[in-house]
With several copies, the nearest count.
Chain A
C-alpha cells in the first residue's frame, strides 16, 4: 500500500519498505486512485468485468481486488451497488428503488412453463444433459425451449458427458447469474435444502444401470477447467 508510506514507523528506511511492498519499477497509483479507476470502468460498461480485465487496463502494480472491495464498501447502502456476478463485477441499481425505473423496463416476453422449468433444472443440476432434463420433467424437451434459453444467453453448452453417445451438457451462464441477481450458482435459492433432501441426486429407476448422471459427481472435481461445474 504505497499510499500509506507516511504511516510507517519512525526510523524505518523508506527505501527498504518501498522495495518490499512494491517490486515494480514505478509506484502503483494510491489505492484511492485505483478505486476511482475501477469505479470508472464499471460505470463505463453495462456488462460485468473480471478483475483480470480491469487489471490489464490499469497501470502496473495495481490491485484491482482491493480496489473493488473498497468500491463495494463505498457503494454499500447507496442507490447503486457493486455486485459480484460469477467471476466478475458490475454496478447495478439497488432493488428497493426499482419503482423509479418503470420507464426503463424492457418488456420481456413471458417464458413458457417448460422454459422456466428447464432453466431451473439446468441451474440446480448442472451440468445437465437433455436426457436428464426429460427424466426430471417426465416429458420431452422441445428443441425450441433449449434454443430459447441459449438465445437468451442464460445457458450454454458445457463439456460433453463421457458416457456412451457423449451427450452435450448444459450449464448456466454469467448472464443468467446477472439476470437473477446471483453472485454465483451456489447462491441459488434453496440449493442447500434441496441437496440435503437428496432431490438433486442423480437417482435412476432401480434396476436400470447406473450411467450418465452418476459419473458427474466425481467427474468435475478432478479437472478444474470449467469452474462452474464445480460450484456444487
Chain B
C-alpha cells in the first residue's frame, strides 16, 4: 500500500485522462478534437487563443502517449503541425523566412474550426426541417402518369434503292481477298479424319489419309498435308489417336488410341 493521498491524485489523473481517451473514439478526427478542446475556452471561435489550444492539444497527445494509447496517424500529424505553429508563435518572426506567418496560420486554423462548427450547426438545422415522410407527406395512392413510346420506322423508296445499289456495288468492287480455292482448312481436314479414325486400328502413314482429289496440284497437296497433320495433332490432344515418327523426316504414322 502506498500513501493514500498520492494514490487519489493518481486515480483522478487517470480518470481524467481516460475520460479524454474514451472520447477519442467519438471524435471525428483531429479537427473535431480541437473544436471540442476550444469549447473549454468559452470564447467566440474568432477570438480563440490558438496558442492555448495548441498547448491543450499537445498535452492531450502526450497523455495519450503516456498511457500507451495508439493514436491514429492524422492526430500525430496535427500534433507535429501544432508544435511547429506553437514554436513559430512564441519566437520572434524570422525576416529571412518566406511563407505564411504564424499569425496567418493561426488565423486559418481558427477559420477551419469556425467553419466546421458552422457546418455542424447548418447540418443540425437541415435535419430539423420539415422532412418528407416524417413531417410532410407525398401522395399515398399515386395513380401514376405514364408515357408510352410508339416507335415508327421510316424508310423511303430511295433508301431502299440506295441500299440495294450499295449491296450490288459492293459486289463489283469487293476488296481483294485471298483465293481460298487451294486451301483445305483444318476444320475440313478434322471433319474428314474424325470420320476415318474409327477404322485406323493399325499404324498407318499419314499420307494415306490425304484426300485423293487434292493430290494432283502441288499447292493443293501441300495445303491438305498441312491441315491433315494439324488435324491429327488436334485429335492426339483429344487423346483419340497416337502419333509416331521413327526418324527425322521419316513418315508420320498414326493409329486410333487402343481402348
Q: Do chains A and B touch in the complex (CB under 8 A)?
A: yes
* B contact set with A: CB distance below 8 Å: 28-32, 74, 99-100, 104-105, 107-108, 111-112, 114-116, 118-123, 125-127, 129-157, 159-173
The residue of chain B having its C-beta at the shortest distance from the C-beta of A102 within the complex is B146
Size range of the chain A interface in the assembly: 35 or more
Q: Is the CB of A105 within 8 A of B157?
A: no
Q: Is the CB of B105 within 8 A of A93?
A: no
Q: Does A12 contact B (CB under 8 A)?
A: no
Q: Is the CB of A46 within 8 A of B105?
A: no
**Which listed residue, A45, A110, A199, touches B161 by the CB 8 Å rule?**
A199
Residues of chain A within 8 A of B99, CB atoms compared: 207
* A contact set with B: CB distance below 8 Å: 40-41, 43-47, 49, 57, 90-95, 98, 100-111, 113-117, 119-121, 123-124, 136-140, 148, 152, 178-182, 188-191, 194, 197, 199-201, 203-207, 212-213
Q: Is the CB of B136 within 8 A of A92?
A: yes
The residue of chain A having its C-beta at the shortest distance from the C-beta of B155 within the complex is A111
The residue of chain B having its C-beta at the shortest distance from the C-beta of A125 within the complex is B119
**Which listed residue, A113, A180, A188, A191, touches B168 by the CB 8 Å rule?**
A191
- A180–B142 Cα distance when bound, in Å, is 21
Q: Is the CB of B167 within 8 A of A120?
A: yes
- A190–B163 Cα distance when bound, in Å, is 13
Q: Is the CB of A46 within 8 A of B153?
A: no
- The 17 sampled A-B contact pairs (Cβ below 8 Å) are A40-B137, A44-B139, A91-B138, A102-B146, A104-B150, A119-B155, A119-B160, A136-B112, A138-B28, A138-B29, A138-B112, A180-B126, A180-B160, A181-B135, A199-B165, A204-B172, A206-B104
Residues of chain B within 8 A of A107, CB atoms compared: 149-152
Contact of A123 with B160 at beta-carbon distance under 8 Å, contacts A137-B31, A181-B130 already known: yes
- A189–B129 Cα distance when bound, in Å, is 9
The residue of chain A having its C-beta at the shortest distance from the C-beta of B107 within the complex is A206
Q: Is the CB of A90 within 8 A of B138?
A: yes
**Which listed residue, A46, A103, A108, A121, touches B164 by the CB 8 Å rule?**
A121
**Which listed residue, A94, A109, A120, touches B153 by the CB 8 Å rule?**
A109
The residue of chain A having its C-beta at the shortest distance from the C-beta of B173 within the complex is A201
Q: Is the CB of A44 within 8 A of B144?
A: yes
The residue of chain A having its C-beta at the shortest distance from the C-beta of B34 within the complex is A138
Q: Is the CB of B137 within 8 A of A109?
A: no
Residues of chain B within 8 A of A207, CB atoms compared: 99-100, 104-105
Q: A94-B136, A106-B133, A120-B161 are in contact. List 12 more A-B contacts (CB 8 A).
A: A43-B143, A44-B137, A98-B135, A106-B151, A110-B159, A124-B122, A137-B28, A180-B131, A182-B129, A190-B125, A205-B108, A207-B104
Q: Is the CB of A90 within 8 A of B141?
A: yes
Nearest CB in chain A: distance from B41 CB, A: 18
Nearest CB in chain A: distance from B134 CB, A: 6
Nearest CB in chain A: distance from B127 CB, A: 6
The residue of chain A having its C-beta at the shortest distance from the C-beta of B133 within the complex is A106
Nearest CB in chain A: distance from B26 CB, A: 9
**Which listed residue, B100, B149, B171, touches A206 by the CB 8 Å rule?**
B100
- A22–B96 Cα distance when bound, in Å, is 77
Contact of A206 with B108 at beta-carbon distance under 8 Å, contacts A43-B140, A116-B163 already known: yes
